[in-house]
Amino acid sequence: MAESHNSRLDVIKAKAASILELINEIDDDISLMQLLQELRGLRKGEADPVMKVILEAIPLPIFLERIASHESYFQQYTYLQLLVFAVNIRPIAVSCSKVKGIWDILSDIFNQNCYENDEVPTQVSEEVIMTNQNHRIQEAVFGVVGSLVRHMKKEEAKAFVFIGFFDECVAVAAGKFDFLHNALHHIAILLLAITKNDPEVMERMKDSGYEVEITKERALGIYADLKKEKQSSAARNTCNSCGKRLGQKLKACERCRSVFFCDRKCFKKAWKTHKKTCKQLKMRSLE
């Protein structure tokens, strides 16, 4: 089983290398679409190392600048979809939120409306509806914002509601397709859960023209799930043996891929304890 997993990792590394070659042809729409298809074909969690490789080649501020400056619909849309993959990774999401002018960049993209109203098919649940290119760009921005909000702390989420960008989210979704309303609703629910139904947050949302409520129990449930995700992310950056935080230098257990170690020495030291849960963690990761 370990050999099979290692061969799978070799395939992913090869894909990462091919993606880097595609980046050198970044103005080629076909290459960009191939890049996105490669990522969509990966299993859950496998896109993370690939996106880290991409962002090592293109630093986040430059990546955002390329999104803002592209005049081609396909290039801008694909870059936004790549950013959605990237900000699903907690450390990248946290870094992205701290990029100077991030909300101004996303605001400009929200309001550009620079593409002709050529209709494109959009998958909504089990139905395919026809929307225009500007709406697809706005949908992709909502996807980025949703992931950024998901990784915010309570005070960050509360502050986000009070910046003008949240008002723009409400304005963009108003009178548009259901899938934009659903994206805004998802973001609003996350904000309420992270701030634990903060009355000031609820009042600010109402002032922005968007009124939504969730029960205290649901807010706490969502908050608990988000907390588990953060703890899982922290575990990937902490040695399970000595407790050191070494980020990307850590190596995963080859059997379960769920706990991480500095090196083989730390792995051997922790194996007596870890082997009791290794098989269970491996089965869970395959679910």
Domain-located, residue 253? yes
Domain-located, residue 287? yes
For the chain, the domain total comes to 1
CA-closest candidate to residue 5, choices 236, 254, 287: 254
Give per-residue burial for 144-171: e unless 16+ CB within 10 Å, then b.
Answer: bbbbbbbbbeeebbbebbeeebbbbbee
Torsion sign, CA atoms 158, 160, 163, 169: negative
Residue 284 lies in domain = 244-287
Kindly report the pTM of this predicted structure.
Answer: 0.69
**Burial (CB count <10 Å: 0-12, 13-18, 19+), residue 91:** middle
Domain-located, residue 99? no
Domain-located, residue 283? yes
Instruction: Give Cα separations from 223 to 10, 228, 229 (angstroms).
Output: 36, 9, 10
Domain-located, residue 275? yes
pLDDT at position 36, please? Answer: 75
Helical residues (DSSP H) of the chain, grouped into ranges: 2-23, 29-40, 47-57, 60-69, 73-87, 90-97, 102-111, 133-150, 154-161, 164-173, 178-194, 199-207, 216-236, 264-285
Domain-located, residue 50? no
The total of other beta-carbon atoms located within 10 Å of residue 73's CB is 19
Instruction: Give Cα separations from 60 to 87, 97, 155, 157 (angstroms).
Output: 10, 11, 24, 21
Instruction: Give Cα separations from 204 to 14, 125, 209 (angstroms).
Output: 48, 30, 9
Domain-located, residue 261? yes
pLDDT tens string, the chain, 287 residues long: the values are 444 545 665 666 676 666 666 655 555 566 667 777 777 777 666 777 777 777 777 788 888 888 888 777 877 888 888 888 888 888 888 888 888 889 998 988 887 766 665 555 554 444 444 467 888 888 889 999 999 998 898 899 999 999 889 998 888 888 666 778 888 888 898 998 888 888 999 999 989 888 877 777 776 777 666 666 665 555 566 777 777 765 446 777 877 777 778 888 888 888 888 887 787 766 655 44
In the chain, how long is the greatest CA-to-CA distance? Answer: 63
pLDDT at position 31, please? Answer: 65
Domain-located, residue 231? no
